[in-house]
Amino acid sequence: MKIFKNAIVLLFLGLPFFMQAQDANTETNLHKNEIGVDIVGLTKLLLDFNNTNSNTYDAQYQVTYKRHFTNSRFRFGIGGRSLVRNRDIVGLESEKLRNSNYDFRYRLGIEKSSKISKHWEVYYGADLRHDILTRRNDSYNNNGIINILKVKTNTVGIAPLVGFSYVINNRISLQTEASFAIFGRITKEENEYRVVKGNPFKPDDFSSSFNDFGTNFYAPNFLVLAIRL
């Protein structure tokens, strides 16, 4: 995990020098900034905002930014989701069970592109990614005790990517891409027990953590409407 984090720090430190070198070879800065919005993801979130099933859509990066240089582009994306539901306990009107999911993620990287027709471009590159997921799940089994499970997951990885862009005009385009992420993950869990009825035996609170590594393929299930400014 330290290797991934150090790579992100080095990339942040090196970006100003990269941008300066690229701008030195650019005759004009006209329309070099590009803002994008994932129209599929935002529509899905609006229609499914109160659904607690976070697997219905993997909302990756709802908002993106690209800086165009002569031979390459710097790219940045940010996204997330917030889901909260409170449930009543029958017979314990003063108590609530809380279930929540908070997902925040961002990525930054470099890409290049090649024109394959008048309106189509293919682009390729790689990102460094960081995801933070916080989850809470309360449960009650009529034993007078509420069990509160809290899970926090930090994921850092690198993801090669390839995508396609349909260029409507010199300012507006539609984009989608696929990527393959290699990541390291740290998960921390906390179990808390709270007595809310009677005098039952209360288990001790405990916590645990573990690390793992893995891979994941992200299909092009989103569509970015991009505008160059």
Return the amino acid letter for 177: E
Helix (H) or strand (E) holding 109: strand 92-115
Rounded distance, CA 217 to CA 124, Å? 15
Each residue's pLDDT tens digit, 209-227: 999 999 999 999 899 999 9
Give the lowest-confidence range in 55-59, 123-127, 219-223, 224-228. 55-59
So what's the pLDDT on residue 49?
A: 54
Rounded distance, CA 142 to CA 144, Å? 6
Set out the domains of the chain in order of their start, with CATH numbers: 2-228 (2.40.160)
> CB atoms < 10 A from the CB of 200, how many?
12
Q: What are the structure tokens assigned to 4, written together?
A: 């991934």
- Mean model confidence pLDDT for the chain: 85
Give the lowest-confidence range in 14-18, 111-115, 209-213. 14-18
Helix (H) or strand (E) holding 4: helix 2-24
* DSSP helix/strand/coil, 19: helix
* DSSP conformation class of 1: -
So what's the pLDDT on residue 51?
A: 52
Instruction: Assign residue 140 a region (left: φ > 0; alpha: ψ between -120 and 50; beta: otherwise).
Output: beta
Do residues 164 and 177 make contact, with C-beta atoms less than 8 angstroms apart?
A: yes
So what's the pLDDT on residue 6?
A: 52
So what's the pLDDT on residue 25?
A: 44
CA atoms within 13 A on the CB side of 117: 7
